[in-house]
Amino acid sequence: MRKLLLLIAVLFSIVVNAQTITVTSPNGTEIWAGCTVHNITWSSSGTSGFFNVDYSTNGGTSWTSLATNLNTTTYSWTVPNTSSSTCLVRVFDTNTPATVDQSNAVFTITAPLILTSPNGSESWQVGGTTQNITWAASGTGTYLTLEYSTDFGSTWTTITTTAVASSGTYAWTIPNAPSTNCLVRVKDNSLSCMTDVSNNLFTIAPPTHIITVTSPNTALTYYVSNSYNITWTSAYLSSSFVKIEYSIDNGSTWTTIIASTSNSGTYTWLVPNTPSATCLVKVSEVGMPATFDVSNVNFIIAPQSVVLNTPNGAESWTGCTTQTISWTKNGTANNVKLEYSLDNGTTWNLISSSVTGTSYSWTVPNTPSTTCLVRVTDITLLVNDVSNATFNIIQNTAIVVTAPNGTESWQVGGPTHNITWAMSGASNYYNIYYSINGGSSWTTIITGTYITTNSYTWTIPNFPSANCLIKVEDYYNTCQNDISNAVFTIAPPTPIITVTSPNTALIYYVNNTYNITWTSAYLSSSFVKIDYSIDNGSTWLAVISSTNNSGSYTWIVPNTPSTTCLVRVSDYGNALTFDVSNVNFTIASPYVVLNTPNGAESWNGCSSQTISWTKYGTANNVKLEYT
C-alpha cells in the first residue's frame, strides 16, 4: 500500500491557479470633474467574484470606501466634489483582501464647487462688520445654499438658499452664536453632489455691546418747547434700559433727560429753554455707563421765532395790487397776525388777526408812503419780526380826489359844495365817505351811485370839525380809492330862525286864536321865545317866554288893537338869534257888518227877503231888529 501511494504521488500533482485583479480605469493621467459619472473598471482571475472598491485623493496615504461586495467588474462612480491631482482607485477581493490592484498612476479630480472662505482659523465677531463667504464655482446651477454649523457639523443652520453661484461671494451678517467649532457649507441647489465645507474650524467671537445715536446726529436745529425724537440703535446690551443725557457745552457737562427708559430705540424729548449752538445727546446702557454713544455733530437749541421774508425792504408795491407777504416759522405751528405801517413803525394797521401757513395774498392799500413796513407776530408766543428796511407803496391813480383836498372851509348850512375827482379805469359807480376825525372813522355820503361827471353836490352835514377828509372809492373795487391830501374844515353853521306867519298884511281879531309859525336851524336850544309888538317893533310884549321849538304856537290875540303889529321868534338860549314878521299885521276888535238890506231896496210886505251880514273876528250869534 505504501508503495502504491508513493506511485500515485509520483504520477500526478494538483495545480492551484493564482488570483489576480487588474484595475483598468482610471489607471493614471485621467482628469475627471467632480460630480460627473465615470466607470471604474477592472479585470480579475481566480478571485471569489466579489469585490470592494476604494479611492484616495492623497496618493494612497488614506482611502475612502466606495462600494463593497460587488459581483461585477465595473462600478459607476459619481466623482466627489473634491480637488486633487494625486487620486488613485483600488479594487480588492472581498474574501481575499490581499488580492488587490490599484491605478498604475495618479489621476486628477477637478472640483466644480470649492469653498474658499471661511476655510479654517478665522475669527469673525458677532455684531462686527459683515464677512464675505467666498467660493469658486464652475458648471453649477444658478443658485447655491449656504449653511453654517457651530458644533463640528453635527447640525446645520441655513444662511441663504439664493446665493448667486456666479458671484462667488455672499456678505454674511454674523449671527449671535459664539463658538470655536464653526464650519460653513456651500451646496448646489439642484445637484446635491456639489457640496463643499470649510477645511478646518473657524471661530464666531462674542459680540461687543453697541449703542449708536442716530438722531440728533447732524447739524439740526431743535426749537425750545418743541418735541423731537431722540433715536438710537443698539445690540448685545446686558440691560433692557438706557439713560439719555444732553449737553449744551459740547460735552463738557451733561444734564439728564431721563435716567432710565426702555431700550426701544426712540424717546420723545420736549426741548428745554436752554439755547445753545454746541449741543449733543448721549445714550448709555443702564448699569454699564462705559457702553454709550454721543451725537457725531453738534446741533442747535434755538428759541421759537417767526422771520418775515417779504416785503423786507426796498420793494415798490402799487396800491390795489395783490402782493405776497411771506414768512418762515421756526419751531412754531401757531397762527400769525399781520400788520403794516405807513410811518416807519410809529403806528400799525391790521391786515389779518390770524393767518395759517407761511404766506398771505395782500391787497395793498392805496395809501402812498415811502416808509412802509410789515410786521408778522406769532399770536401765541408773541414773538415777531418786521421788514428789515422800509418799502414803498405807490398810489394807484384810478381815482384822485381833487376837492376838497385840504385847507377848504365849508360851512354847515351854507351853500352846497361839489366833491370832485379825476378818474382813470374806475367803473363810474362810486362810494363817497367823509371823516371828521382825520380818517379814524368814516360816514357814508353815497354808495353804489352811478356818476359820469366825476362830481357830486354835497350838502354839508352839521358836524363841525377842523380834521375833515373826503374819500372816493370804486364801488366794484373798493381798493381803488383816494382821500383828500390834507384835512379841510366843516365850519359851524349860523343859527337861523324864520317867521313864516304872521308874515303878510293879515288881520288878527282880538280874542281869536291864530298859529304863529316859523322855521329854524342850528339853534343852541330846543326852545324859543315869542314876542309881539303893536308899535312896529319899538316895544315888545311877551307872547310866551319859552316854548318847544316845534315850529308852531297857537296864540289867543290880546285886546291890543293896532295896525302896526309884528311877531318876533328868538332862540331861547341866544336872544341874538331871532326873526321878525316881514310886514305889519293888524290886531282888530271883532265886529259884524250888515250887507242887505243896506239902503234903497223896496220890499213888498208879506214877501220873504234875505237879511245878510258878515262877521269879523267873531262866531257868536246875532240879534236882528228892524225899524
Radius of gyration from C-alpha coordinates of the chain = 64
Mean pLDDT of the chain: 92
pLDDT of residue 292: 94
The region that residue 538 occupies, defined by phi over 0 for left and psi between -120 and 50 for alpha, beta otherwise, is: alpha
* This prediction's pTM: 0.45
Over the stretch 417-438, which tens digit does the pLDDT of each residue have? 999 999 988 889 999 999 999 9
Q: How far apart are the first and last CA of the chain?
A: 243
From the number of C-beta atoms within 10 Å of its C-beta (0-12, 13-18, 19+), residue 363 rates as middle
What is the reported pLDDT for 34? 87
What pLDDT, on the 0 to 100 scale, is given for residue 17? 56
Q: Which three cell numbers stand for residue 502?
A: 304872521
Model confidence at 308, pLDDT cuts 50, 70, 90, reads: very high
Cβ pair 446, 456 in contact under 8 A: yes
Measured CA to CA, the distance from residue 488 to residue 465 in angstroms comes to 8
CB-based burial of residue 480 (10 Å sphere; 0-12 exposed, 13-18 middle, 19+ buried)? buried
Work out whether the CA dihedral 260, 263, 265, 268 comes out positive or negative. negative
pLDDT digits (tens, 9 = 90+) for 490-506: 998 888 899 999 999 99
List, for residues 592-627, the tens digit of each pLDDT value.
889 899 999 999 999 999 999 988 877 789 899 998
pLDDT of residue 7 exceeding 50, the answer is no
Is the distance from CB of 523 to CB of 493 less than 8 angstroms? no
| DSSP annotation string for 34-88 | TT-EEEEEEEEESS-S-EEEEEESSTTSS-EEEEEEE-SSEEEEE--S--EEEEE
Summarised one tens digit per residue, pLDDT across range 559-594 is 999 999 999 999 998 888 999 999 999 999 888 889
Question: pLDDT band for position 318 (50/70/90)?
Answer: very high
Q: What is the pLDDT at residue 521?
A: 87
Strand partners, 369: 393
pLDDT mean over 138-158 = 93
Q: Is the dihedral of CA 307, 308, 310, 313 positive or negative?
A: negative
Distance CA 425, CA 594 (A): 80
Q: Which amino acid is at 414?
A: G
Has residue 457 got a pLDDT over 50?
yes
> Does the structure show a pLDDT above 50 at 132?
yes
pLDDT category, 272, cuts 50, 70, 90?
Answer: very high
User: What cell numbers appear for 351 in the block?
Assistant: 391786515
Is residue 334 within 8 A of residue 380, CB to CB? The reply is yes
pLDDT of 81 reads 87
pLDDT above 80 for 509 = yes
Share of the chain above pLDDT 90, in %: 79
**CA-CA-CA-CA torsion for 355, 316, 375, 305, nearest 10 degrees?**
80
| Phi/psi-derived region of residue 9, left when phi > 0, alpha when psi is between -120 and 50, beta in every other case | alpha
- 350 vs 395, higher pLDDT: 350
| 16 has a pLDDT exceeding 70 | no
What one-character DSSP code corresponds to residue 164?
E
